[in-house]
Every structure is written in C-alpha cells, then in structure tokens.
Structure 1
Amino acid sequence: MQQHKLGADLTVSAIGLGCMGFSQGYGATDDDESVAAIHTAIDAGITLFDTAMSYGQGHNERLLARALHDAGENIRVATKFGIVRTEAGVGLDAKPEHIPGFCDASLARLDRDVIDLYYLHRIDPEVPVAETVGAMAELVRAGKVRHLGISEATPEQLAEAAAVHPIAAVQFEWSMLWREPERDIIPAARELGIGLVPYSPLGRGLLTATLDSETVATSDFRRNDPRFQGDNLTSNLDQVAALRDLAARLNISAGRLALAWLLAQGNDVVPIPGSRRAARITENAAAAAVELTPAELEDLAKLVPDHGWAGDRQSFAVPSKTRTTS
C-alpha cells in the first residue's frame, strides 16, 4: 500500500476506509460482518479509519473499537464532532465549552488514549471557526488529540482555522462525479499545506458501474440526491458507461479507475471510500497500486469529461437551531 501524507507529518495509507455505512445510511447492518470487513481493510494495508460521534449516535465508534482492538500500532483513527443527534432531531454544536466533553466521550467509545485526527464535522454558524479550533488546539496540548481537521469548510473558514492551529486535513466530497472542490477548496488547502481527504470518492457508488436506475433507490443518500434523479441520472449513467469501457480496456474495474484518478491528483490526497463488503474493500484498496500514465489520464478526461456530469449534489447543511445545551 502506498503511503500519503496529510499536513506536515501525518502519514497514512493512500486509501482509507470511511466507516459511516457500518452504522447508517445504506440499509441494515450486521456488526459481526462489519468487524470482519474492517479486518479485511487492515489486511489490505489500510491504516486510516474514519468515523464520527454522530454515526449511529456513537455506535460506529464503539464498533470500530471492537474491530481495532488487536490492531497494530500503525493504525490511525479519525473521528469528528459537531453534528449532534437527539430526539429533537439533527443539529450542530461546536461550542468551545462542549468540545472537551465530546472528545472524552469519543475516546471512551473508541477505547483509545488519543485520537489521531480530530475533525470539526460541520461549521456551526453560531460559533466563529477560530473559537472552535482554539478549543480543539487545547486537546492537542492536553495529549488527547494528535492532529486537527475540518470538514466541509469554505476557503475562508479553512484559512481562519489554520491561523489558530495547524490543520492536517480537510474533508469534503470529491470524485469524478463531483469536481466543484477543484475550483476553490483544493487550491486553498494546498496553499496552506493541508491534506485532502475526499469522502464519497466513488460518487455514492455510481462510479463502481454497479448501479442502475432501479438500485439507486435503495439508499436515502442516493434517492434524495439530484444527481440520481430523472434526466440527470440518465446522463450520469452514460458517463459511467464510458468510464466502465475505458476501465475494461485497462483491465481494471470502473471503481478502481475512479479511485486511481483521484490518487493521481497528488500525494496529499487520501480518499476514504466506504463499503460494508469485504470484497469491495479489497477492490478499493487495490486502486493504490494503479498508476495511470499521462496518456491514460488524457483519455479519461476526453471520454469522461468533467462537464458531462449532471445535477447538483444533495445539500448536507444541518440546521443549527437544534442544539445541545449541556
């Protein structure tokens, strides 16, 4: 497995594992199967595991603790705070006075002494980013967190965060299906020396070329996404067919080609595809061994052009009015 660097000194596998699907978003789960899938990821050389306190309301962190109980010292765990799920609904809370408690609760669920990479999951519009990151920096000084990250930030917010404390990684949606980050957040992050962690790097499964107009409805994350609806879906499936045909000529799967394309964008890129299937995890990890030539990348740009994708992505804004108060 190739190694990529996030920020100044966080070295991890070039492909990570997004763990959300083990607890929510894509249908029923089985914890024993999930643990086995995580073990498959370790065997494939994956060292970065991405979770959040909000995934399954803590279930995901506890599951990861079980799966990583006997894992080696090279394993790195990233978790996130800021999205809160209560009986009243889903909201945001990045108040500085609440952050130590969020961290301690995650450490307990993860059964770890330190979090390798601690993200602000979403910006809380009621709290200046600098104040939130200032509280996160205190966790680093206390030895509870090694590196800081931020998710779904604007370039301006990223700069505000980095002015308070070094930021190792910014997480955002990026794939062949969604190229918008290339306009602003990626250049801004690179100017600040911040690593890039794309989530949904396989376009919520579309880029694996295993979905069709029938199967997209099996997940809320797809069913409610404009890119998976009507004429947009028809156009996007045409793009996927071209991707699949080129991948076949290269003797690899469409998913491996899509991930290899992301990895070709730089050694500061660490995609975190998620899957509950051990075979898919192995397939995704193998993308790190695919080195696309300049000619192959040029063919890909011509046959699957960035302007050929249709539809805006689903909004993942969370209302801030639903908050914790203690």
Structure 2
Amino acid sequence: MTLPTRAIGPFQVSAVSLGCMNLNHAYGAFPPEDEAIRLLNRALDLGVTMLDTAALYGDGENERLVGKAVMHRRSEFTLASKCVLGLFDGKRGLDGRPEAITGTLEGALQRLGTDHIDLYYLHRLDAKVPIEDSIGALVRAKEAGKIGAIGISEMSAATLRRAHAVHPIAAIQNEYSPAVRNVEIGVLAACRELGTTLVAFSPVVRGLLAGAIRTAAYAEGDVRHIMPRFVEPQLSENLKLVDAFDRIAAEAGLAPAQLAIGWVLAQDATIVALPGTKSIAHLEEDVATLTTPVPQEAIDAVTALFPFNAMSGPRYAAFAQAQVDTETLPDEELA
C-alpha cells in the first residue's frame, strides 16, 4: 500500500509513521515479542515507511526488537533512532559529549543489526555540552557513512538554529497535539525558515485523545503515573475536555485518534505525525487517517477547544521537564 508522504531531508516518509517506544518502554504491560514483531511488520504492510526508535527505549531492547523484526525488510522503510538520553547506572540521564554519542551510535548499530541509520537524533539537549559539539559528532558519523540525516528532539527554535548553523537539521521531533501546542511559539516558524521537518510525537496525547484513558489505573511501570496531567485531581479536569473532543470526533464520523492526528497534519503540510501503539487495530486506525477525510469544521472546533494552557497540570514531572529545551507557553504550569 502507498500512503501520502512528506519529506524529511532526502527521504519521503509516510505522513503517519510509527514510534516504536510503546512496545517495550514507558507505558507498561508490554506485548509479547511475537506480537510486537507482528505489529512492526503490519505497519510496513500498511505502507508506513518510517520506524522510530531510540537507545533509551528499554535500555536498547527496542532497537534490538526493531532489528530482529524488520531488518530483513530494510529497503522498505526509513530507520530513525536517537542518542544522548539514556540509562546510566540504571538512572535516566543525559550525555551529549561527542565520545558518548559515538559510543551510543556504535551500540545502536549492533543492536539494530545494520551499518547505517537513516535519521539519527540528539534525543535531548545536554546543557553541559555545547550543541555545536554534539552536532559535530553526528556530522563525523555522517561523513563515516554510519548515519544519513541529522535530527534533534525536544528542543527550542533557538537551539534548532544553532544546530542548523553547524549542519542542516532534517527533522526536529517535538511533542505536538491539539493539547500540547508549544511548538507554535517558535519551532514551527523556524522549521519553515530552515526547511526542517517537524516530527510530531504523542499526537494523541499519550492515549488521552485516543479513547484510551478514563481513570489513572495504569499498568505497573507506566510513566503516566508520574505525569501530572494524567493523575488526579488534574485528570478529571482534563477528561472534561476529552469528552468534548470525543463529541467533535463522533459528529465528524472519526475515531478520536484520527481527529487528533488529522488536526496535527492539518497544521502544516510538512509535519509528520508519529503515533505509537501496542495494538494492531489501533495502528490500522491511525494509518487510516491518511485516507479518511477530516472536515475543516472539526479541525477548527478542536483548535477552539484547546487554547494554549487548556490542560490542567504540567506536561512533565520535574525531573523530565529539566531535561527538555522546548519553549514554554506564557503562564504555562511547570512542575
């Protein structure tokens, strides 16, 4: 199947691509490996042409899974992964030193079972290391043929411009959804100026706009336990917005996830949406957004429903907020 595509540097990728994190990181209750392998292959069968992983996810296990599941179909997809953010002595941390980036990349290539990663991101900004030094390590990796395009993640427009001055940045992967609109402060404009693609992760707000969350009864190990917007008393307030969102979706004849993803794609013709899922049925629903008309009146209604700071509670817990460089909205509540 051929899906509508959008450009990331030299690549044309499906406008809805797949974030692989959910399969063994962050949300708990992970599927058995054989089910995860089936899902990844089903994504390719549906026409998804970018798979996104990272060294952090499962402390390398997600890269190993992708390598085992689909590397025999390598010509069918753009492979993306990330460095800098990882587990160090069992604790989540940042290491953007050039030598650390080189070591993480070598490990990623081994885990993935390949000698080349198409799109390699700095997962976060390590404030202790000049962005120019971290990007320089990726430039050298590109010159060595180990990576193709260069990306950054959860960073600001100012940092994007600094990075781009060292080497063209093909993609910036930041959170973007009807409920999380920080990129509208400056990143979207910088992307248009520089020719950088915004890859929008969590377009369905970690399941909140996909009909997946009604209570805070998450599986053991689910990071939403410590994300203020997803626990009480904030969750009940946010579910009022979700109920209104669901009504807009129903009136438009759409699944909630399709309306959320459709809204993101409608904000700019270059944006790539990157949902993740553990369910083949949900995967198929997400991908079907690309062949399902999303009425403009529904998009407008969603925009009106979620003005800046509509959500109750901070986006991240304090430790995670300290590891991002994204702009904050005026009067945004921070942990």
- TM (norm. structure 2) is 0.89
User: Of residues 179, 185, 188 in structure 2, which corresponds to 1:183?
Assistant: 185
CA distance in 2, matches of 1:11, 1:206: 29
Cα offset, 1:10, TM superposition? 2.2
Q: How does 1:130-209 map to 2 (within 5 A)?
A: 130-209=132-211
Cα offset, 1:252, TM superposition? 1.4
Rate the CA distance shift 1:309–1:317 in 2: closer, same or farther, 3 A.
closer
One-letter identity of the residue aligned with 1:170:
I
Which 10-residue stretch deviates more, 305-314 or 36-45?
305-314
1:13 aligns with 2:14: yes
Write the deviation string for residues 265-302 of structure 1: whole angstroms up to 9, x where unpaired: 12211121111111111111111223334333223334
CA distance in 2, matches of 1:318, 1:305: 24
- Secondary structure of 1:311's match? coil
Which 10-residue stretch deviates more, 230-239 or 27-36?
230-239
Rate the CA distance shift 1:294–1:167 in 2: closer, same or farther, 3 A.
same
- Secondary structure of 2:75's match? coil
CA distance in 2, matches of 1:247, 1:92: 39
Q: Does the 8 A contact of 1:10 with 1:168 survive in 2?
A: no
Rate the CA distance shift 1:319–1:270 in 2: closer, same or farther, 3 A.
closer
Matched residue, 2:330: none
Write the deviation string for residues 178-198 of structure 1: whole angstroms up to 9, x where unpaired: 112211222222222110011
Q: Does the 8 A contact of 2:249 with 2:298 survive in 1?
A: no
- Percent identity among equivalent residues? 37
Q: Does the 8 A contact of 2:209 with 2:260 survive in 1?
A: yes
Cα offset, 1:220, TM superposition? 3.2
RMSD across aligned positions (CA): 2.0
CA distance in 2, matches of 1:5, 1:52: 21
Matched residue, 1:323: none
Cα offset, 1:105, TM superposition? 1.5
Matched residue, 1:43: 45
Cα offset, 1:168, TM superposition? 0.5
Q: Which runs of 5+ in 1 are unaligned?
A: 321-326
Q: Which runs of 4+ in 1 moved over 4 A?
A: 216-219, 303-307, 317-320
User: Of residues 271, 275, 278 in structure 1, which corresponds to 2:277?
Assistant: 275
1:114 aligns with 2:116: yes
One-letter identity of the residue aligned with 2:210:
T
User: Of residues 288, 291, 309 in structure 2, which corresponds to 1:289?
Assistant: 291
Q: Does the 8 A contact of 2:25 with 2:58 survive in 1?
A: yes
Q: Which runs of 5+ in 2 are unaligned?
A: 325-335
Rate the CA distance shift 1:319–1:299 in 2: closer, same or farther, 3 A.
closer
Cα offset, 1:308, TM superposition? 3.4
Q: Does the 8 A contact of 1:114 with 1:145 survive in 2?
A: yes
- TM (norm. structure 1) is 0.92
Cα offset, 1:127, TM superposition? 0.8
